[in-house]
A and B are shown apart, each in its own frame.
Chain A
Amino acid sequence: MLFSALRVITASNPVHAVLFLVLAFFNAAGLWLLLQAEFLAIALIMVYVGAVMVLFLFVVMMLDINIERIRQGFWRHLPLGATVGGIMVIEMTTVLTGMYFGLDNFPAQLADAAATAEGSNTKALARILFTDYVYPFELASVILLVAIIAAVMLTLRERKDTKGMRPADQIAIKRSDRVRLVKMASVTESNASSLTDTLDAATDAKGGAPQ
């Protein structure tokens, strides 16, 4: 996982970098499986690998990225990046060594024992989410919904020249709207001249077709 995470930032080709990120997600999911969090592991693959990264890959493949220009700013941005990275490392160690910092008094930690005892941690997770954490959970989903709608509103623009369809209209169309039947006398030697008259009359009725 460390290798693939490292390759995410060192791969020269952005598409390769994205694929290594996918690999990193897979490894993370594997680690979670080993920690008996099968719901989280599978949800990680389903959401991140299956949906988010695919769209990410779409975007990266579409972009025309100039690698040389990106490389230029490396040393200039390093201090900022290192600071953010350092803070994240500190946070992670705080959580992982939580027992020394008194973090294990949170309800999630207490319910953890119950979950492992029961076997199916999907059920346990759902029970906690919809009882102890119902308000934070609902709040998070509302925030996500707002984000979705905001993203759509920001990018949605009605193009004037678009040839959008109205399927309801298409279905409601009748034969008489599209085809007009013209009655004609059958063709024989004697009335061939009268046929051309009828044809002329028909084109006239249409509003004069080009000859």
Chain B
Amino acid sequence: MMSALLAPIQELLGPVFPLVWTLFKIVLILVPILLSVAYLTFWERKILGWMHVRIGPNRVGPWGLLQPMADGLKLFFKEVIFPTVADKKLFIVGPVMAIAPALAMWAVIPFSEGLVLADIDAGVLYLLAIGSVGVYGIIIAGWASNSKYAFLGAMRSSAQMISYEVAMGLALISVLMVSGSLNLTEIVHGQAKGYFAAQGAGFLSWNWLPLLPVFAVYLISGVAELNRAPFDVVEGESEIVAGHMVEYSGMSFAMFFLAEYANMILVSAMVAIFFLGGWLSPVGFLPDGLFWLAAKISAGLFFFLWIRATFPRYRYDQIMRLGWKVFVPLTLLWILVVGIWMMSPLSLWK
């Protein structure tokens, strides 16, 4: 039916049709993401407010619902200030490099059965590779600002991100081992099989249960990778102000902000796909669908906001210790455990 509807457009556009159609799909993915980012900031402030027994934003629009729009407008009309001896080109490249990977990674996320922009075989590798590029935005921004605060903040945050990328990558290896594929759709399909799925309790067949330690490591590393509380040492009002974002204002600051929140949604989407069964329904009698993925992403996001309101910050050396001396050995050990488990007669993944 879809192709029948598209046929006249295809004829009209001729050879450029694939290009236009892909661009259309990209817009179809990006617009909801940017809207979710806007309302995630609102939701974060609301949740933090409730957890602090405050009200949160409630002035702009009904229940404060227009607050993100007001914030966006304010940032849009603010002047972008260039520090006097800043490297002007790189100063602009910085925020672009921060937001581009955050949005590019959505290309391989499968939203539902077949609902994916690029169903590539090396999807997980693509996520890891593009994710590691995000560090450049921070380093370039820190360096180009020509400010000591910005530079120190960039150093801190990029060192932290690189360290936790190692733990995240190693955690994913166990997932790849049990699903035997680098394709994200295949990984979700792999979680639909198993004893409990056949019994109608699919949520017990998802990867989070057999890979529980890895799931915990991935989730915590995800928070650290995002530079979110309790690992938000990139910002510190009393030491380095706003880290690499000190010198940015207006839309260039907004781009860092968008990148951070888009990455938050992305990390929860990745957690949902790798460990929580993607778009699969938790119980047998309800249908699978996009709705479930959205629900899982929202739960992940709530978790991020929740721990921000709950935990005190880590000290920097403790963050590094946790990443290198706890998570990396733990994931390496679990790779070994999963390997032996898969080869033993008790294997769940046949």
Contact = CB atoms under 8 A, between A and B. Distances in A.
A19 B135 CA distance: 13
Contacts of A45: 129-130, 132-133
Given A45-B133, A49-B133, A54 B128 contact: no
B122 interface: yes
Given A22-B136, A57-B139, A61-B143, A50 B120 contact: no
Interface stretch (A36-44, A84-92, A144-152): A36-44
Contacts of B128: 42, 46, 50
Contact of B135 (A15, A50, A120, A122): A50
A61 B151 contact: yes
Interface residues of B, number: 26
Nearest to A165: B317
A19 B22 CA distance: 30
Interface in B308-336: 317, 321
A133 interface: no
A137 interface: no
Nearest to B123: A42
Interface string B229-258: 000000000000000000000000000000
A54 B136 contact: yes
Contacts of A49: 129, 132-133
Interface in B109-148: 120-122, 125-126, 128-133, 135-136, 139-140, 143
B182 interface: yes
Contact of A42 (B122, B139, B143, B317): B122
A119 interface: yes
A202 B128 CA distance: 61
B211 interface: no
B129 A58 contact: no
Interface string B16-40: 0000000000000000000000000
A116 to B, nearest CB: 13
Contacts of B307: none
B135 A38 contact: no
A15 B130 CA distance: 21
A66 B140 CA distance: 21
A44 B133 CA distance: 12
B198 to A, nearest CB: 28
Interface residues of A, number: 24
B155 interface: yes
Interface string A13-33: 101100100100000000000
Chain B contact residues: helix, strand, loop or mixed:
helix
Given A15-B143, A54-B136, A61-B143, A39 B321 contact: no
A49 B128 CA distance: 11
B165 interface: yes
Contacts of A16: 90
Interface in A131-169: 165, 167
A42 B132 contact: no
A51 interface: yes
B132 A46 contact: yes
A13 B143 CA distance: 12
Contact of A119 (B90, B121, B133, B143): B121
Interface string A108-125: 000000000001101000
Nearest to A43: B125
Contacts of B129: 42-43, 45-46, 49-50
B155 A58 contact: yes
Given A38-B120, A49-B133, 11 more contacts: A38-B121, A38-B122, A43-B129, A50-B128, A50-B131, A50-B132, A51-B132, A51-B165, A120-B182, A122-B125, A167-B321
Interface of B: 87, 90, 120-122, 125-126, 128-133, 135-136, 139-140, 143, 151, 155, 158, 162, 165, 182, 317, 321
* Shortest Cβ-Cβ A-B pairs, 10 listed: A50-B132, A45-B129, A46-B129, A42-B125, A120-B121, A42-B129, A38-B122, A54-B135, A61-B143, A42-B122
15 contacts: A15-B143, A19-B90, A38-B121, A38-B122, A42-B125, A45-B130, A50-B129, A50-B135, A50-B165, A51-B132, A54-B132, A54-B162, A57-B136, A58-B139, A122-B125
